[in-house]
Structure 1
Amino acid sequence: MSVNTTLAEELLPGYSIKRGSIIDRAMLIRFMHLTYQDMFPTQDFSHLAQTVKQYFSDNTPLWWVEEEGGQGEEDTETPRRGDAEKFSPFHSSTSPVGCLWMGNAIDQVSGDRHAHIFLIYVVPEYRRRGIGTALMQYAEAWAKKRGDRQIGLQVFPSNQAALNLYNQLGYQTQSFWMLKPLYPKI
């Protein structure tokens, strides 16, 4: 356990959550790859390391979800690209089954700082067990504790499962992110 990592606490029955630290950078990048590969399996996401390098700090907390009691025997098989549903980032008995990475944003209308969810991810075989909902509630409690009046996130319109969860939890669309390519893809 690193100096910046706090003791684990129960997230929901059977699962604990613990604070990550800056030394978890490589694992965060792996989870980000898994997140995007779920939706865009043929895309190269090597650029995500730059995102983590630019935004991950002690001011942007990260939490890991672990199944209490671990996941059993150590997995020594090397994952292949595209095997997101089999890929366990740690390959050990305490592999995380989910993560939450938080940061800050500025409300462009009011100018207020608010919490922003950079990443929420649950390993596919652990979905539909309440972990995503528990992570969202954890994020909201963290934001309230530090005095935020709102919390934001970005979601792709094709991610119907996430949209359903966020709608059930009371999230509302505030804006649309629009892009126009300036150069043709090479």
Structure 2
Amino acid sequence: MSEQLLPGYLIRRGSTLERSLLVKFMQRTYQERFPQQDFAHLARTVEQYLSQDTPLWWVDVKEAGETRSREQRGETYKTCAPLSPSSPSSPVACLWVGNAIDQVSGDRHAHIFLLYVVPEHRRKGIGKALMQHVEKWAIQRGDKQIGLQVFESNQPALNLYYQLGYQTQSLWMLKELSGYFVGDSHE
């Protein structure tokens, strides 16, 4: 069932049947940051982690004069719809949440796997409204915190998260090992 997220936008709970659409949103997210990469592996990520325990929400543009949700009218969403802002069956934003364990306290908490808003609908408050939505959801289920990972180069996302009170707790560090091979001795 859909409900208003913001004026002009509806939020609805997704289903595990929408795997292909979630993969498309994930691929768009990463292709914006890393356009030369192939992200075929994201389908395996979705297959492994999307479940009833990892909620998914979609944001749709509210059609003019729409008083009943698509579900109430008996309409269905195409799970392989193109990501076009002009297509009424294509969501304009996505929020996918999983679970994590705080390594200090041992408590389970919500972890945002994906927050994505198509470029044509950015800077309209959708990301902020989705973050507020997931915070309410996490509080209702008893979580004491929410975690997420964001690329250091994604300044708009960092600005949003700082504005909402998120703070850096740890840094995820990587080192490229291009010159090392399994079994090499470096004595």
Flag whether TM exceeds 0.5 (same fold). Answer: yes
Q: Which residue is 1:52 aligned to?
A: 46
Which of these residues, 160, 167, 174, is aligned with residue 165 of structure 1? 160
Which of these residues, 14, 21, 25, is aligned with residue 27 of structure 1? 21
The alignment status of 1:176 with 2:132, answered yes or no, reads no
% same residue: 66
Letter in 1 for 2:26: M
Superposed CA offset, 1:103-144 (max 9, x none): 100000000000100000000010000000000000101100
CA distance in 1, matches of 2:163, 2:85: 32
| Structure 1 length-normalised TM | 0.83
CA distance in 2, matches of 1:35, 1:55: 17
| Structure 2 length-normalised TM | 0.83
From the superposition, tell whether residues 180 and 11 of structure 1 become closer, same or farther in structure 2 (CA, over 3 Å).
same
From the superposition, tell whether residues 109 and 18 of structure 1 become closer, same or farther in structure 2 (CA, over 3 Å).
same
The alignment status of 1:122 with 2:117, answered yes or no, reads yes
The alignment status of 1:11 with 2:18, answered yes or no, reads no
Q: Which residue is 1:134 aligned to?
A: 129
Q: Which residue is 2:57 aligned to?
A: 63
- Assess if the C-alpha contact under 8 Å between 1:10 and 1:16 holds in 2: yes
How many Å apart are 1:181 and its aligned residue?
3.1
How many Å apart are 1:89 and its aligned residue?
6.0
RMSD: 1.9
CA distance in 2, matches of 1:9, 1:43: 36
Unaligned runs of 5+ in 1: 1-6, 71-86
CA distance in 2, matches of 1:184, 1:50: 28
Letter in 2 for 1:69: E
Letter in 2 for 1:145: Q
CA distance in 1, matches of 2:166, 2:178: 34
CA distance in 2, matches of 1:38, 1:167: 21
CA distance in 2, matches of 1:55, 1:14: 31
Larger radius of gyration: 2
SS class of match (2:92): strand
How many Å apart are 1:182 and its aligned residue?
3.7
Q: Which residue is 2:35 aligned to?
A: 41
How many Å apart are 1:184 and its aligned residue?
4.4
